[in-house]
Amino acid sequence: MDLGTEAAWTVRAVGGLDAVPDALLERLRDDGVPATVPGCVHTDLLAQGLIPDPYLDLNEAAVQWIGHVDWEYRGVVDLDEPAPDVHSDLVCDGLDTVATVHVNGALVARTQNMHRGYRFDVAEHLHAGSNTVAVRFDSAVTYTERACEEHGYLPQGYEHPYSFIRKMACNFGWDWGPTLVTAGIWRGIRLHRWRRARLEELQVRTDVDGATGLVHVRAGVVGRAGFLDGLTVWVEVAGRRHRVEPAAGAIDCTIPVDDARLWWPAGYGAQHLEDVTVTLADEDGVVERHHRRVGFRTVELDTGPDAFGRAFTVKVNGRPIFVKGANWIPDDCFVSGITREQYAERIAQARAANLNLLRVWGGGLYEDDAFYELCDEQGLLVWQDFLFACAGYPETEPFRTEIAAEARQAVRRLGSHPSVALWNGSNENLLGWYDWGWPEQVDDRGWGEWYYTRLLPAIVTELAPTTPYIPSSPFSSTPDVHPNHPGDGPVHLWDVWNALDHTRYRDDIPRFVAEYGFQAPPTWPTLTDAVHDEPLTPRSPGMLAHQKQIGGPDKLDRNLRGHVPEPTTMAAWHLATSLNQAHALRLAIEHFRSWWPRCAGSIVWQLNDCWPVTSWSLIDGAGRVKPAWHAVRAAYADRLLTIQPREAGLSLVLVNDTDLPWRQDVRVRLVTLDGDVRRESVVPVQADARATRTVTLEPDLVAPNRRRQEVLVADAGDLRSVWRFVPDDAVLLPAPRYRPTVTAAADAIEVTVTAETFLSDLVLLAEQADPRAVVDTGLVSLLPGESHTFRVSGFAGAAPDRFAAVLHTSNELFHAAS
């Protein structure tokens, strides 16, 4: 029975009442207010109109009191009298976080971990008729502060000592997220009534032996005395049924599948999935049934030494994969409200941007099953962090026991998914030890290393032995090598955003980049729906409340220098910073990919946002793509043409991430911004399958007469790369002139733009004409006389000509007056 839907729930304040606003105290303290389960206090109070929307304007500050209050959720449900041989378990899939559970006034359990589920035998506490389930949540803020005081301080990145509680770390604020400390029954809660026997700790995982797929099934079988007599387990795989006899209260079997079809990541093959059904049965029929979808694949991590240091290359089914990834954070601050449809939209956007991997970052969650199922279906590999990020973590009890139980449950639940390709012990915690002064702050106390180097790898080895594990990101293979060394393991590149120009991404050739990124504001409708400052400026109060990085506004402005003139209006600033994010990521990805296989992966920070904020995301908090999404999509395409600086001179690099050779005549022109061709050459190039090919260009071809007025343009079919000989802001971009033609159809609007001058970074910001509209392409460079057609879909009600009015280019930033 789903108690979320079958019980009538309320929530009320039961402790820390001094923090409750006087106007709300009586209502929240006494009978409380209606509640939704799954849910959290913030969304329940918001639904009742008792708090302002925390995502808007300065409202985040106005709801901080919620995290300092103790709350009780109370559900009332009518039950029939069970038969004498029926067990009754209360199953809680997610309690956030420090919870005390009562059933009809009897204490059932105390829990303190958001990241795991629980099962409690409650048969003796239930009766026919009305029953009450009450879950009290103590203030997570108070709990962490008390635990930190009792244990002693450990290094933390933010105000609250979030590492002293097993709760989503970014709930306490991050440099892209608000401080909204939640409480509530955040995942399902149900009453499970069962007879005779049930399975527990069921795990289904796969392996491959030659052409044979192997399905491993393990579970405990629990029940009354003598329950195994006459009990049978059936395992159905790929349409074939196998009988398994439980022994000693457990099942542990391996089912072979001949000529198994392999599961491949996107771009490398099909995502074949097989159904696995585990059925517990007796002479009366089905006792219990579970279903999984699995895929047969192997994953290896090549970290062997080579001429450049040590590799860090993911191999799937024996084939090296260039990882085209992005980091994933929780898609909403109030995670109980994330739906399967929301996951599907975001994952579809990731695939449309040519990604083949999402890294689930360690300050967030083990996501809902739907996330991993959709990644299985779409061919997105998952790099899964264990939930440790940017802090020292206590190694004392009860943390050790809690973390072990949490990790075992996570690996069992997620290990059946073919998409889950790598487990990572922590985010930046080894880096913190090396670079952030942790040894002096920690002294001789444990700070989490035991988890990353001993506990977690042991659990992965036991429960997911065919999936690679690393202790942290960044990470190097030996302790004597700095964890962020570009020649060994995954690196995080934050010096560029924080202190350097984005052209400095080319300074190193890392083996793998697990984090790097550039900020930009959300799209215009997302921004103006959330921030209503008058006037709205880059540093108006609401804008600053939606910029969480210390010094972020200054970094945004500094990173424009050398690329565009200082913007003088809010609209110009918004366009400039949005395009600059796109430029930076495109440059970085093209550089990394041009060095394949030496560099074997790029994971952009970050794919998504949890609220409307200025951040490093490609998709803003309302689910709208930024211009940077288009840049990443082009840079991650299966075939990439790019002009790159090399020791021998400017060079063409063809990156071929397909299974077919790429033979291409590349047209290379030295062109004035007026469209006159100074020099031209056709360069025949062949890139082998899954390989790069670099060709040094003739010196005469890359020697401009007027460096500020000429560009190098390389074309290969519909692919184009443009090289500027001077810094961006030194290019004498002409005032933009073009002719738009709008054609309306039933399901789309086409806007064809014909350039009359050189156009740089032509974009159609469709969401500014209709907040629901989506455009298919962006960031187009056109020479005079060339045309490009944008296709707009998803709109409703906007006049077709309105879309011609939201065309923009980099050119206009240099000609603001016109």
The CATH number of residue 33's host domain is: 2.60.120.260
Mean pLDDT on 499-508: 96
How confident is the model at residue 227, as a pLDDT? Answer: 67
Helices and strands counted in the chain (H then E): 18, 45
Average pLDDT over residues 317-339: 98
Max CA distance (Å), the chain: 94
Q: Which residues contact 108 (CB under 8 A, 6 or more apart)?
A: 90, 101, 102, 120, 122, 125
Phi, psi of 102 (to 5 degrees): -120, 145
Residue pLDDT, tens place only, 524-574 = 999 999 999 999 999 999 999 999 999 999 999 999 999 999 999 999 999
Task: Please report, to the nearest 10 degrees, the dihedral formed by the alpha carbons of residues 515, 516, 520, 525 taken in order.
Answer: -30
Which residues have CB under 8 Å from 770's CB, separation 6+? 794, 795, 796, 797, 798, 802
Place 84 in a pLDDT band, splitting at 50, 70 and 90: confident
**Is the bond preceding residue 606 a cis peptide, omega within 30 degrees?**
yes
**Same-domain pairing of 483 and 605:** yes
> Strand 305-306 relative to strand 512-516: parallel, antiparallel, unpaired?
unpaired
C-alpha separations of 637 from 140, 156, 351, 590 in Å: 44, 39, 11, 10
**Residues near 440 by Cβ (< 8 Å), separated by ≥ 6?**
none
Return mean pLDDT, the chain: 96
- Per-residue pLDDT reduced to its tens digit, 39-57: 999 999 999 999 999 999 9
- Does 318 fall in a domain? no
The candidate with the shortest Cα–Cα distance to 596, out of 564, 636, 543, is 636
pTM, two decimal places: 0.97
Structure confidence at residue 746 (pLDDT): 77
Looking at mean pLDDT, say which of 217-231, 500-514, 742-756 comes out highest: 500-514
β-strand pairing of 649-656 with 691-696: antiparallel
Residues 756-783 have pLDDT tens digits of: 999 999 999 999 999 999 999 999 999 9
Asked if the structure places residue 359 within a domain, the reply is yes
Residue 171 counted as domain residue: yes
DSSP states of 48-92 as a string? TTSS--TTSTTHHHHTGGGGGSEEEEEEEEEEPPPPTTEEEEEEE
**Between 520 and 249, the higher pLDDT residue:** 520
Q: Say if residue 186 is in the same domain as residue 201.
A: no
Give me the pLDDT at residue 796, please.
80
Question: Is the domain of 650 the same as that of 586?
Answer: no
Is the domain of 596 the same as that of 686?
no
Same domain as 186, residue 201: no
Pairing of the two strands 512-516 and 490-493: parallel
Number of compact structural domains in the chain: 5
Whole-Å CA distances, 581 to 35, 546, 761? 41, 17, 12
CB 413 within 8 A of CB 348: no
Does residue 724 carry a pLDDT above 60? yes
Q: Are 525 and 620 in contact (CB under 8 A)?
A: no
Q: Is position 300 within any domain? A: no
530's tokens = 């959330």
C-alpha gyration radius of the chain: 28
If you search the block for the tokens 């702050």, which residue do you land on? 441
Residue range 198-206: mean pLDDT, rounded = 95
Q: Summarize the confidence of residues 598-618 as an average pLDDT.
A: 98
Tokens 């998803």 correspond to 794
Q: Band of the pLDDT at 226, cuts 50, 70, 90?
A: low
Q: How many CB atoms lie within 10 A of CB 745?
A: 10
Looking at the structure, do residues 596 and 713 belong to the same domain, yes or no? no
Helix then strand then coil, in percent of the chain rounded to 5, is: 25, 35, 40
Predicted local confidence at residue 433, as pLDDT: 96
Please report, rounded to a whole number, the percentage of residues in the chain having pLDDT higher than 70. 99
Which helix H or strand E contains 578, and what residues bound it? helix 570-594
Round to whole Å and give the CA distance between 564 and 556. Answer: 12
Phi, psi at 215, each rounded to 5°: -110, 115
Q: Which two tokens stand for residue 1?
A: 């029975």
Per-position b or e across 351-384, b if 16+ CB within 10 A of its CB = bebbbbbbbbbbbbbbbbebbbbbbbbbbbbbbb
238 and 345 part of one domain: no
608 neighbors 619 (Cβ within 8 angstroms):
yes
Question: What is the pLDDT, as a whole number, of residue 748?
Answer: 92
Q: Is 11 found in the same domain as 87? A: yes
- Best CA proximity match to 231, nearest among 289, 290, 288, 283: 283
pLDDT for the residue numbered 225: 67
| pLDDT in the model for residue 638 | 98
pLDDT confidence tier of residue 635, bands split at 50, 70 and 90: very high
Do residue 159 and residue 186 come from a single domain? Answer: yes
Count of Cβ atoms closer than 10 Å to residue 150 Cβ? 10
Q: Say yes or no: 224 and 186 in one domain.
A: no
Amino acid letter, 752: T
Answer yes or no: is 347 within a domain: yes
Mention every residue, 6+ apart, whose C-beta is less than 8 A from residue 576.
560, 563, 564, 567, 813
The CA distance from 639 to 194, in Å, is 55
**Domain end position, chosen among 597, 629, 661:** 629
Q: What are phi and psi of 416, to 5 degrees?
A: -80, -10
- Residue 818 confidence (pLDDT): 47
Residues paired with residue 218 on neighbouring β-strands, in sequence order: 203, 252
Give Cα 663 distance to the centre of its chain: 36
Residue 299 belongs to a domain: no
Domain match, 584 and 605 both? yes
Residue 228 lies in a domain: yes
The residues that bridge with 299 in the sheet, in sequence order, are 316
For residue 745, the domain's CATH number is 2.60.40
Work out the burial of residue 244: count CB atoms within 10 Å of its CB; fewer than 13 is exposed, 13-18 middle, 19 or more buried. middle
Domain's final residue, options 169, 192, 215: 192
The CATH number covering residue 216 comes to 2.60.40.10
């300065």: which residue's tokens?
Answer: 58
35 and 143 assigned to the same domain: yes
β partners of residue 222: 198
The range of the structural domain enclosing residue 796 comes to: 738-814
- Between 80-84, 208-212, 292-296, 624-628, the lowest mean confidence (pLDDT) is in 80-84
- pLDDT for residue 72 is more than 60: yes
Residue 154 near residue 441 (C-beta atoms within 8 A): yes
Residue after which a domain boundary falls, among 730, 747, 777: 730
314 within domain boundaries: no
pLDDT in tens, 477-500: 988 899 999 999 999 999 999 999
Tokens, residue 117? 């589920």
Report yes or no: 421 and 466 within 8 Å, Cβ to Cβ.
no
